[in-house]
Amino acid sequence: MISRHEKHRLLRLIAATVVLAAAAAVLAFTGMSAYKQKQFQEDVIKTSGGDLKITCIGHGTLMFTFGGKVIHVDPVSSSADYTKLPKADLILVTHEHGDHLDAKAIQILSTDETTLVASPSCAKALPTATVLANGDTRTVAGFKIEAVPAYNIVNKRPDGAAYHPKGSGNGYVITFGDKRIYVAGDSEDTPEMKSLKQIDVAFLPMNLPFTMTPEMVADAAKAFRPKILYPYHFGSTDTNALLGLLKGEAGIEVRIRDMK
């Protein structure tokens, strides 16, 4: 027979095991809940070729899904766990800075069928990429891609060099059906940006000292008039300032997403 002492000891052991199991269950549930809460914001744009799904991953990172194909723009590991996202048919990289070019993320997303397109400043780091120079237009993976110059005019380093020199980085205009989507990369409100035509959706960067102020973004938007404007890559910049600058501006819808 079990002694009273041994019986009490056994009961305490059982009780402790139950408590630990309950705690583990709570932690697992909390972890699952936290994962579920970290859902990326998505929008759907109607096009002549079907729905375009825009996934706002964060900072300068986007994902487009269209016609059964997936395009990743500036995928970086700090913004997402790419083992849990769809493989890429096409990857676009705007320039060489670490918050835009991440070789590890590109490797995770790539298959033997993936096409990689990059700007001239990425050529050394991405030797297998198709390099588009400023102004180039090419059909890649079934999509028309236009490379728009992305560079600084006003904002410069202490030594006078531009954070993003002209000729090194691209923005991209991607055509989906009858819709033209512009992802500016790191740029100011350049003449090339302002002269764009028939842009349906634009992603414009808004953070100093590297890209634009809200005033610059508003100035550019009023010039080329995208139907939908997403500020992105905006860090701690107050997006309400942009909303105020474009309040009442007919034909331009400003959408704020979690793109710090």
Q: Residue 259 falls within a domain, yes or no?
A: no
Which residue is it, tokens 């079990």?
Answer: 2
Q: What percent of the chain has pLDDT over 90?
A: 79
pLDDT of residue 234: 95
Output the DSSP codes for 135-204: T-EEEETTEEEEEEEE--SS-B-TTS-BSS-TTTEEEEEEEETTEEEEE--S--S-HHHHT--S-SEEEE
Does the pLDDT at position 38 exceed 60?
no
Lowest mean pLDDT among 16-30, 57-71, 95-109, 182-196: 16-30
Q: Does the model's pTM come out above 0.75?
A: yes
Q: What percent of the chain has pLDDT over 70?
A: 85
- pLDDT 10s digits, 18-35: 444 544 444 444 443 333
Q: Are both 239 and 160 inside the same structural domain?
A: yes
DSSP SS3 for 45: strand
pLDDT of residue 163: 85
Average pLDDT, the chain: 89
Q: Are both 186 and 88 inside the same structural domain?
A: yes
Total domain count for the chain?
2
pLDDT of residue 99: 85
Domain span at 117: 40-254
Q: Are both 99 and 13 inside the same structural domain?
A: no
Question: Containing H/E element for 56?
Answer: strand 50-58
